[in-house]
Chains A and B, each alone.
Chain A
């Protein structure tokens, strides 16, 4: 590890160390992407996309659920505009995730932030945010986490497109890896009574909204509302009411 420098970059680890720990933090994501990436590749190949086309989509978009939706829309002959518009709506939740991450990235290097932004997914957001909150985490490590996940996604989707139907992708309960990861990361976020309340409200609201409105905008609506209720609730019970 290099000695601390007094410059703008005050991250606790540098270069190789950041790379290693960033990659290490990404393993549950990679495990979870394996079956999903392969499944996407198989589906895309069946829809008539070549491995090159699949890889290009994974590089340019890097957002699982919207890629699944886009492939089914492509095979149904949907227009460019409707596919792009749907992608926008489906991925709008990342706006909220980047906003929450921004709190920890005050005055970080703009170029690095742009590279980081590319890799903000549900999974990398949840991992990086817990890391920032609970440990000494830095943008270099976070970048390594994002790009490890990104690399895994690209490789597995292309592999799926080449011959995914021959890979037994659903063994060992691997389909549950991301779910289990989200469960644990949610536990990490619960740091007091008020967080329990917010999570319960968000979950219940999301559940009801998901049955009422099509698409996945229920995630954004429910979390924004629940967080707002949390702020009001915190004001009411005073600053000593949590932690």
Chain B
């Protein structure tokens, strides 16, 4: 059985998650955007991926202190170089996983 209280929580969570995902797609696809906005949006992917990655690689999620001697960060360096050299998404994912598996075992 699913309680009413639990349903209310997840429906609320669903709504506040869906609306920010949905509004720009409905609103921005219908009009022509000023060029500065298009330029700004063009930088968003590189910025957002970097903003997600760097803290995740060099900080401990729990204490949020910088620690470069983490398998996540050490493995990221060869993985990054491999991605630049090959431009292969599949290859990079496999290489990253294998290196991380090894790093966890031996570091």
Q: Which residues of B contact A101 (CB under 8 A)?
A: 24-25
Q: Which residues of A contact B40 (CB under 8 A)?
A: 227-228, 230-231
**Shortest beta-carbon distance, B11 to chain A, in Å?**
6
Q: Which B residues between 85 and 107 are near A, CB-CB below 8 angstroms? A: 87-90, 92-93, 95-104
Report the Cα distance A184→B46, complex, angstroms.
11
Q: Which residues of A contact B16 (CB under 8 A)?
A: 84-85, 87-88, 91
Contact size range, B? 35 or more
Report the Cα distance A62→B10, complex, angstroms.
10
* Residue in B14, B49, B84 whose Cβ sees the most chain A Cβ within 10 Å: B49
**Shortest beta-carbon distance, B102 to chain A, in Å?**
7
Given contacts A219-B51, A228-B40, contact A190 B46 (CB under 8 A): yes
Interface bits B1-39 vs A (CB < 8 Å: 1, else 0)? 010011111111110111011111111111001001011
Contact B45 A129, beta carbon cutoff 8 Å: yes
Q: Which residues of B contact A188 (CB under 8 A)?
A: 87, 89
Report the Cα distance A102→B27, complex, angstroms.
9
**Shortest beta-carbon distance, B46 to chain A, in Å?**
4
Contact B10 A211, beta carbon cutoff 8 Å: no
Q: Which A residues between 168 and 207 are near B, CB-CB below 8 angstroms? A: 171-177, 179-190, 195, 198-207
Given contacts A70-B13, A103-B42, contact A175 B100 (CB under 8 A): yes
Question: SS class of chain A's interface: helix, strand, loop or mixed?
Answer: helix
Contact B46 A183, beta carbon cutoff 8 Å: no
Contact A227 B97, beta carbon cutoff 8 Å: no
Contact A28 B89, beta carbon cutoff 8 Å: yes
Contact A211 B64, beta carbon cutoff 8 Å: yes
**Shortest beta-carbon distance, B73 to chain A, in Å?**
10
Q: Which residues of B contact A62 (CB under 8 A)?
A: 17
Contact B13 A176, beta carbon cutoff 8 Å: no
Q: Which A residues between 204 and 238 are near B, CB-CB below 8 angstroms? A: 204-207, 210-211, 218-219, 222-224, 226-228, 230-231, 234
Q: Give me the interface of B with A, judged by CB distance under 8 Å.
A: 2, 5-14, 16-18, 20-30, 33, 36, 38-59, 64-66, 72, 75-76, 79-80, 83-84, 87-90, 92-93, 95-104
- The 10 closest A-B CB pairs, nearest first, are A180-B96, A173-B101, A203-B54, A176-B100, A60-B14, A206-B51, A173-B100, A227-B43, A102-B28, A202-B47
Q: Give me the interface of A with B, judged by CB distance under 8 Å.
A: 27-28, 31, 49-50, 52-53, 56-57, 60-63, 66, 70, 74, 80, 83-85, 87-88, 91-103, 105-108, 110, 113-114, 116-118, 120, 122, 125-126, 129-130, 171-177, 179-190, 195, 198-207, 210-211, 218-219, 222-224, 226-228, 230-231, 234
Can you offer 29 A-B residue contacts whose CB atoms are under 8 A? A50-B2, A53-B6, A57-B13, A60-B14, A80-B8, A87-B12, A91-B20, A94-B20, A96-B48, A99-B44, A103-B38, A103-B41, A172-B97, A176-B101, A179-B76, A179-B100, A180-B97, A183-B79, A184-B88, A190-B46, A195-B46, A202-B51, A203-B53, A207-B55, A219-B48, A223-B50, A226-B51, A230-B40, A230-B43
Question: Other than the known A185-B89, A190-B46, what 9 A-B pairs have Cβ atoms closer than 8 Å?
Answer: A49-B6, A56-B2, A61-B17, A113-B29, A183-B76, A198-B50, A203-B53, A211-B66, A231-B40
